[in-house]
Amino acid sequence: MVIIGANAWFWYSLNQSKFVLLAPVLTILRGLAFFTIKKKHPRGWLLQPKWHTMKNHKEYNFKYTEISTITELSDEEQNLVNQSLEALKTSYSPYSKFKVGAAALLENGEVILGSNQENGAYPSGLCAERVALFYAGAKYPGVPVKCLAVSACFEGEQTKSPVSPCGACRQVMIETQHIGKKPMRIILTGSEKSIVIENSAFLLPFNFVNTDKIFE
Ligand code: THU
């Protein structure tokens, strides 16, 4: 409606004015301006509040590795992935029937397994990643987690695509990494494709930190 109205007004005022002969030129200029703005603001320039004065745009990118077979990983990490598959057996998921297994490799060489544990009061359940990381924290407080492998299984078969952790698990991964003071590698596995992320913090920009130092 706004665009139709603006067009009608544009043509009417042009026809009324002595600049009517400039109509084609003005139309081309207006089109060019519109497309330039549209390209810069694909979500629509009307939605961009004060876009013309907001110069300090920032971008967030991160690198990760996609692998088609876990044989591309080190022996230690292949073993960790296999242990996450093993952990699927302990999943208690009668409601979703979606099993998730997690294996955390600690710096002291220990491997801690976790699986999703559901509950009839749905929100009371917990994801595999958090079961593993909280268990690791309870058993070996302060010991850094070097790597966390996650696998999932639905209807008896491992998922083809890598399982993607929920936001709450990402938040917990980041704080676990913060406590350990070392980057935690995350391996998200699927039978046809897996993903390796070098630092768990990549997974949750603007994660919650319990201080006012987030932007330092
Ligand atoms: N789940 C996990 O354990 N980890 C994830 O990364 C995603 C989801 C669980 C929660 C619930 O028991 C089931 O998968 C289906 O949502």
What tens digit of pLDDT does each residue of 90-134 get?
A: 999 999 999 999 999 999 999 999 999 999 999 999 999 999 999
Q: Which backbone phi and psi does 13 adopt, to 5 degrees?
A: -65, -30
User: Who lines ligand 1 at CB under 6 A?
Assistant: 93, 96, 98, 100, 116, 118, 125, 127-129, 163, 165-166, 169
CA-nearest of 75, 77, 159 to 111 is 77
Q: Write down the pLDDT at residue 44.
A: 65
Ligand 1 pocket test target in 85, 91, 116 with most atoms within 8 Å of CB: 116
Contact 104, 133 (CB under 8 A): yes
- What is the total residue count of the chain? 216
pLDDT tens for 38-64 read 676 666 666 666 656 677 778 899 999
- pLDDT at 192 exceeding the cut of 80: yes
Question: Could you tell me the two tokens for 96?
Answer: 């979703």
Longest dimension (CA), the chain: 84
Q: CB neighbours (10 Å) of residue 155?
A: 8
Ligand 1 pocket test target in 166, 186, 188, 189 with most atoms within 8 Å of CB: 166
Looking at ligand 1, which residue's alpha carbon is closest to its atom 16?
96
97-100: long-range pairs with CB below 8 Å, 24+: 97/154, 97/155, 98/152, 98/153, 98/154, 99/152, 99/153, 99/154, 100/127, 100/128, 100/129, 100/150, 100/151, 100/152, 100/153, 100/163
CA-nearest of 148, 161, 140 to 200 is 148
Report pTM.
0.77
Q: Write down the pLDDT at residue 213.
A: 62
Strands 111-115 and 98-106 turn out to be: antiparallel
Active site residue 155: no
